[in-house]
Structure 1
Amino acid sequence: MPTKTYHIGVEATMEIIGGKWKSIILCHLRHQTMRNSDLKRAIPQITQKMLTQQLRELEAAQIVQRHVYQQVPPRVDYQLTEYGQSLSGILHELCTWGEDNIDRRRADGETIELLNRDDI
């Protein structure tokens, strides 16, 4: 296997959780196990194709665990693995920073609606 080179540690982090959707998915899974349809409802802007792709990538990185129940109709849910749980502090800090940023921008006169505040 060829040597992979990073110039700074955050590159390795962003390779796993970077992009528009992964951190949002992970923030939702941080608090509970969710089915695909629950995630789709929680993130209405994401397409089903993109949600599936992002979940597969997170599963391949061993951040998310997919559990298939042997029943009819089939039921699948997703949760953070133990390794994925190690991202909880980082995700919480990202949420807190974003909320503080929204508060600052509102104070500067920008109109912003925040539907869900990260209280945990």
Structure 2
Amino acid sequence: KETNTARDYEKKLKEKIAPFTDVPILFISVKEKTRIFKAIEMALEVYENKQRKIATSKLNNEMLKVVEAYKAPVVRGHIVKIKYITQLPTHVPSFAFYTNFPNDIKTPYKNYLENQLRSRFNFKGVPIRIFFRKK
């Protein structure tokens, strides 16, 4: 057993689950009884992140700054403007971005918004769904 075995295995595992970069990875040993409680704590933290509800005003204050800093690309001459954002009442954190051209927002910009939601509101380990709706 080398000192870098866990780190190398974690790197390979993250390559295999490539689009999912925000998944917590823990190495535990039942035989040696190490880091078992850490796994339980992490599971509870992910559960709390999944249950998190964000007020629409706070969501708009944070995310509209992000949208202004990095605007959606112009598609076919359309300037895409995001008017406001709400969290939908679902079991998985889901957000509706109300915009003038919802079909013109591409995957890279959607990924950018998802990453910003994760970092600003701590949705570590939780899938996030984003919908674009017509305003």
Query: With structure 2 as the length reference, what TM-score do the two structures score?
Result: 0.27
- Give the structure with the higher percent helix: 1
Query: With structure 1 as the length reference, what TM-score do the two structures score?
Result: 0.29
Determine which structure has more spread, i.e. the larger CA radius of gyration. 2
